[in-house]
A = this chain, B = another copy of it.
Amino acid sequence: MTEPSAQARRAAFAEAHRATLAKAQEAARSRGYFSAYPETPSGKIYGETAKAEAEAAFQALLGQPFAPGDTLLGEEASPWGQKLGITYPGLPVDALVARAEAAAPAWADAAPEIRAGICLEILHRLNRDSFLMAQAVMHTTGQAFAMAFQAGGPHAQDRGLEAVAYAMDELSKVPGAVRWTKPAGREQLVMDKRFRAVPRGIGLVIGCATFPTWNGYPGIFASLATGNAVIVKPHPAAILPLALTVRTARAVLAEAGFAADVIQLAPDTAAAPIAQDLATHPAIGIVDFTGGPAFGAWLRAHVGGRKALHTEEAGINPVVLHSTADFAGLCRNLAFSLSLYSGQMCTAPQNIFIPAEGIETEAGRKSFEEIGAALARAIDWLLADPARAAGVLGAVQNPATLDRIAAARGLGTIVRDSAAVEMPGFPEARSATPLLVAVEADACEAWGEERFGPIAFLIRCPDAAAALDHAAGSARARGAITALVHATDEGFLARAEAAFARAGVALSENLTGSVFVNQSAAFSDYHVSGANPAGTSCLTDAAFVANRFTIAMARRPAAA
């Protein structure tokens, strides 16, 4: 039996967060602006001492076991320069699954409202600790502090809340007890039916190294809210953000009288990966994966047919230039999108399709070469101040990205070269500014694959229509998550909307101000469509949650 105080806490969590959940459900339907968690890293909101305390807490984690364990592993190194030296207890796959299965039944049997209350309490505490999460995200992914705070903290929490909102919407459709009365001649057939939502099985969430919380929370919270135990397998390079997340979640679960093993961390190393063994274990019913298309393809082939599989893999995001009424704004906005987190966002543009004859602007026609030069200048201006450059670029997560930049230099004409920049306070930081390479439209071997990192191509196309065809065709065939088009012609914009809708790409138009194509806001922007090779699923739509549970029925003749 659950002790009375735990029962009371369950009810209190549900009550405390009921209004937030209702607002989130309404926002997910109306899809206007909504956020439950303040994105500003301000002492006024999070407490004047929060930042300093979080830095101290982060320092205290370094060089220590995160938790006791027989097998301790961990090899995280900050892209800003220091080895973290944190180790995490590892468990064999069978032990992880056995613990999840032991914890699962009570969680499955809990009322959806109780589970939602616990999910929102977890998110609430994660929000409270956003400054610590910012340190953890910054020093694993290489994100600059402001992005690490926002994307790793409040924005990720919003994505988690959004998933709970969708799960509750779908669960609320499952009726409880129903009487079924069928006319049969002069008589009636009367049956009493009871329905229940049954969790699909253990949810496995496989994390990535760039946005471990933002990309991980939707799957974690969608599976938890629909009643599944969850195993979180972080990327070996970014364990800490998800370890902190799981620790918080386990504490809340335990306070509410559930087994902490409803959620478990399953760290591994690059040398001894466990994701395949976990994903193919028969007890795993759901797999959420963010990462490269090679492992994505393996998952699709090996678990995609029977288990619920949700992937975000790779996008080659296009920009199409037709015309603009604000050429300086276009360049400023695009320079920022190319520079932000050194092009390591899955939403960052890579391929800029430009008509060979240039584009019309408010200041007359700009040639292909003029556009490249103006964009290069805008990047230079943005990154001229070292402190600002560090804040925009962040650090490069993976050394392989630097090799990719070196290789890309040979793919065409260098319009702007990539270079390391000085990062104040982080002399060892791995950095790289955007590389711009001009190529011809037929150089598919250059621009036709994802070149992850600060690498962009200026692609000379016969005309704007051909630019759109290349961009949308590539998105359909090879995958894309975002697209950006600049045009003053409504007819061209309409054609772009139709083409990118068909290609399953989220389209932004004429961005010249403070909204960037990279940004995807929970509750309003759908992230990834599932309609092209960039991923199988969308954060978040009904399809993302509906297959995480099934509906069971028991019926019997009604008592006379």
A198, A510, A550 — most chain B CB neighbours (10 Å) = A550
A309 to B553: give the CA distance in the assembly, Å.
Answer: 23
Interface SS of chain A: mixed
Chain B's nearest CB lies how many Å from the CB of A196?
6
Chain B residues positioned under 8 Å from A92 (CB to CB):
none
Asked if A74 CB lies within 8 Å of chain B CBs, one says: no
Interface string of A493-516 (1 = CB under 8 A from B): 100110011101111111111110
A529 to B512: give the CA distance in the assembly, Å.
Answer: 49
Asked if A191 CB lies within 8 Å of chain B CBs, one says: yes
Chain B residues positioned under 8 Å from A557 (CB to CB):
510-513, 515
Chain B residues positioned under 8 Å from A553 (CB to CB):
506-507, 525-526
Contact of A194 among B184, B198, B497, B515 (CB under 8 A): B497
Q: How many copies does the complex hold?
A: 2
Instruction: Knowing A514-B184, A531-B198, A546-B542, say if A173 contacts B504 (CB, 8 Å).
Output: no
Instruction: Knowing A531-B198, A546-B546, A551-B538, say if A514 contacts B189 (CB, 8 Å).
Output: yes
A170 to B545: give the CA distance in the assembly, Å.
Answer: 13
Contact of A551 among B189, B502, B526, B550 (CB under 8 A): B526
| B538 close to A507 (CB less than 8 A) | no
Chain B residues positioned under 8 Å from A509 (CB to CB):
554-556
Chain B's nearest CB lies how many Å from the CB of A103?
15
Chain B's nearest CB lies how many Å from the CB of A150?
13
Chain B minimum-CB-distance residue to A192 = B509
Chain B's nearest CB lies how many Å from the CB of A301?
6
Asked if A98 CB lies within 8 Å of chain B CBs, one says: no
| A189 close to B515 (CB less than 8 A) | yes
Asked if A20 CB lies within 8 Å of chain B CBs, one says: no
A514 to B524: give the CA distance in the assembly, Å.
Answer: 51
Which stretch in A1-9, A26-34, A426-434 binds the other chain? Answer: A26-34
| A551 close to B529 (CB less than 8 A) | yes
Contact of A508 among B512, B533, B550, B556 (CB under 8 A): B556
Chain B's nearest CB lies how many Å from the CB of A551?
5
Which stretch in A174-182, A254-262, A387-395 binds the other chain? Answer: A174-182
Chain B minimum-CB-distance residue to A551 = B526
Contact of A32 among B181, B493, B550 (CB under 8 A): B181
6 more CB-based (< 8 A) A-B contacts, given A508-B555, A509-B554: A32-B178, A198-B504, A200-B531, A508-B556, A512-B557, A541-B546
Interface residues of A (CB under 8 A from B): 29-33, 170, 173, 175, 178-182, 184, 189, 191, 193-196, 198, 200, 297, 299-301, 303-306, 309, 493, 496-497, 500-502, 504-515, 521, 524-526, 529-531, 533, 536, 538, 541-543, 546-547, 550-557
**23 A-B interface contacts by CB (under 8 A):** A30-B175, A31-B180, A189-B513, A198-B501, A198-B502, A297-B305, A301-B301, A301-B305, A306-B536, A497-B554, A501-B552, A505-B552, A507-B552, A507-B553, A508-B554, A509-B554, A509-B555, A512-B557, A529-B550, A529-B552, A543-B543, A543-B546, A543-B547
